[in-house]
């Protein structure tokens, strides 16, 4: 029997990426093999996003392009999941050729649908066992949904209230990934720092970070995205005290004007955000802070926009994801007058991006000549690709196999979005962050000079004192 194939198309946030990874795993367990060509697939899955109008337009365009495929190949199954799926009856009327509409993160629904397709599926592997290729860096959702009600955001209406996963489930996922070769795990949540508030005993993100830190074979831990309203000092202290947790913060400010923040329903002021960033930088002084910004929100005056621009200059973010406001049906803001013209929105968006590009260029330039540590996660256009602890993208050339290894490289060129480094010496494994082996691995001659955005000796607190957790067995 010919092996059946699936095509998976994903757009949107990291949560969608994580869901798509799991969809692929579940389909492969049932004997499907991936294909980049939808016309060769037996099942096509679209994992969708409607957070912004541009994303929704791409989804609708993709659906329209697939209508001809369904007309010429009646046997291909088309499944749509994600935040695009709201009123199923209306969607079925608009897209009658779609076989199934599934809610966000309904991985089990895709698996059940695939299992119930008419033709039987035979598993085609040489050993008879299923084995998913490992990814050096992988994603683990720890919560779904959101309890905040930002007036512009479609996530809460589409994904529902926050639902935190038990810590035991998270650890099971992490242990499985590490056994398969994953070396970095990113914890995901629509509001990751609110994790556990809906669970018995109310464990928090710091508890998850601490538990993962003790997992042998795991080298790095990241998390996103954080809400300034819910970031606790306990979480900040956990990042500062756990060497495996990378000091890279995804902290969405959205606007730099208090009146606009109130209209957005964000629940904090600009001064609160500044104070939070100050505490984060005091605890992790060589960290990176990334943010999200919306320009052209209903009622935003030029002066209020300039307050946002001023905040960007003051905070000196490492990365700022900037978007022009687009109304999302079903949100409170969708009923307000969208009184900022498209031309003005584009002007504001481009101006923030230009300022941020200048800031990122200056920040990354401080790395020139520095020796940095990167986890190599891929090969791109003839060069190896890796990321620093602060998530800076670094490329280098080498004929050796560096995939899944740590490399110490010296930066020879910097730009706003990436850097280039010399060829490293030799690939080497990274021991567990335990006891003297970690001290020895750092080495007496290791480069420990700290730049503004490179933490250096990861086993030390910012004050230079050894982390107790780093040297306990």
CA distance 142 to 204: 11
pLDDT at residue 427, as a whole number: 58
Can you tell me whether residue 151 is helix, strand or coil?
coil
DSSP state of 395: E
Residue 299's alpha-carbon distances to 151, 253, 267, 465, in angstroms, are 13, 18, 18, 49
CB atoms within 10 A of CB 302: 10
The residues facing 184 across adjacent strands are 137, 220
> What beta strand segments (E) does 42-151 contain?
43-48, 77-82, 100-102, 137-141, 143-144
**Which one, of 160, 118, 125, lies nearest residue 143 by Cα?**
160
C-alpha–C-alpha distance, residues 27 and 34, integer Å? 9
DSSP secondary-structure letter at 4? P
pLDDT score for 93 = 86
Residue 277 is predicted with a pLDDT of 98
Angle at 354 between CA 279 and CA 283, to 5 degrees: 10
Residue with tokens 């076989």: 99
Q: Is 270 left (phi over 0), alpha (psi -120 to 50) or beta?
A: alpha
Position 373 scores a pLDDT of 93
pLDDT of residue 188: 95
Torsion of CA 322, 327, 328, 332, to 10 degrees: 110
pLDDT along the chain (473 residues), means of 10: 85 89 90 91 92 89 89 86 89 89 91 74 35 76 94 90 96 95 95 95 96 96 95 97 97 98 98 98 96 98 98 97 94 95 97 98 96 93 94 95 93 96 72 35 31 33 32 26
Among left, alpha and beta (phi > 0; psi -120 to 50; other), residue 311 is alpha
At residue 134, the pLDDT reads: 66
Distance CA 156, CA 26 (A): 26
| Closest-CA residue to 53 (of 78, 79, 81, 83) | 83
| Residue 44: predicted pLDDT | 94
Instruction: Please give the domain boundaries of the chain with CATH numbers for all domains.
Output: 5-115 (3.40.50.12160), 137-364 (3.80.30.20), 371-471 (2.40.50.140)
Structure tokens at 9: 């198309």
In 224-243, which positions are buried (b, 16+ CB within 10 angstroms) versus exposed (e)? bbbbbebbeeebbebbbbbb
Q: What is the pLDDT of residue 460?
A: 28
CA distance 378 to 395: 10
Residue 199 φ then ψ, to 5°: -105, 155
Q: Could you tell me the end-to-end alpha-carbon distance of the chain, in angstroms, rounded to an integer?
A: 52
CB 297, CB 308: distance < 8 Å: no
């Amino acid at each position: 029997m010919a092996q059946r194939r699936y095509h998976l198309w994903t757009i949107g946030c990291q949560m969608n990426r994580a869901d798509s990874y799991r969809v692929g795993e579940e389909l492969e367990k049932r004997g499907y093999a991936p294909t980049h060509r939808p016309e060769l697939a037996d099942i096509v899955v679209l994992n969708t996003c409607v957070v912004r109008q541009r994303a929704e337009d791409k989804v609708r365009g993709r659906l329209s392009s697939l209508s001809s495929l369904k007309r010429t190949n009646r046997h291909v199954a088309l499944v749509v999941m994600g935040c695009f799926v709201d009123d199923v009856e209306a969607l079925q009327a608009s897209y009658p050729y779609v076989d199934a509409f599934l809610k966000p993160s309904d991985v089990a629904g895709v698996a059940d649908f695939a299992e119930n397709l008419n033709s039987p599926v035979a598993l085609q592997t040489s050993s008879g066992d299923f084995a998913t290729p490992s990814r050096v860096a992988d994603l683990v959702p720890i919560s779904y949904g959101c309890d905040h009600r930002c007036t512009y955001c479609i996530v809460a209406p589409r994904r529902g209230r926050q639902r935190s996963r038990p810590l035991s489930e998270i650890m099971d996922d992490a242990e499985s990934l590490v056994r398969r070769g994953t070396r970095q795990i990113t914890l995901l949540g629509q509001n990751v720092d609110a994790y556990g508030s809906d669970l018995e005993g109310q464990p928090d993100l710091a508890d998850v970070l601490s538990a993962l830190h003790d997992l042998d074979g795991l080298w790095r831990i990241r998390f996103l995205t954080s809400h300034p309203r819910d970031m606790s000092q306990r979480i900040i202290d956990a990042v500062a005290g756990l060497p495996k947790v990378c000091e890279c913060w995804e902290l969405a400010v959205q606007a730099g004007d208090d009146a606009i923040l109130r209209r957005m329903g964000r629940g904090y002021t600009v001064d609160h955000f500044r104070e939070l960033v100050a505490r984060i930088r005091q605890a992790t002084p060589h960290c990176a802070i990334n943010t999200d910004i919306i320009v052209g929100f209903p009622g935003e005056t030029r002066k209020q926009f300039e307050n946002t621009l001023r905040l960007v200059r003051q905070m000196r973010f490492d990365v700022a994801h900037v978007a022009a406001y687009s109304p999302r049906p079903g949100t409170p803001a969708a009923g307000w007058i969208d009184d900022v013209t498209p031309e003005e929105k584009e002007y504001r968006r481009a101006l923030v991006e230009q300022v941020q590009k200048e800031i990122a260029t200056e920040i990354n330039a401080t790395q020139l000549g520095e020796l940095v540590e990167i986890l190599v996660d891929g090969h791109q256009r003839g060069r190896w690709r890796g990321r620093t602890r602060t998530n800076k993208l670094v490329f280098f050339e080498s004929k050796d196999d560096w995939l899944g290894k740590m490399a110490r490289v010296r930066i020879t060129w910097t730009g706003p979005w990436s850097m280039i480094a010399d060829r490293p010496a030799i690939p080497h494994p990274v021991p567990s962050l335990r006891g003297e082996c970690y001290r020895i691995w750092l080495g007496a001659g290791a480069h420990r000079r700290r730049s503004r955005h490179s933490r250096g000796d990861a086993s030390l607190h910012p004050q230079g004192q050894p982390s107790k957790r780093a040297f306990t067995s």
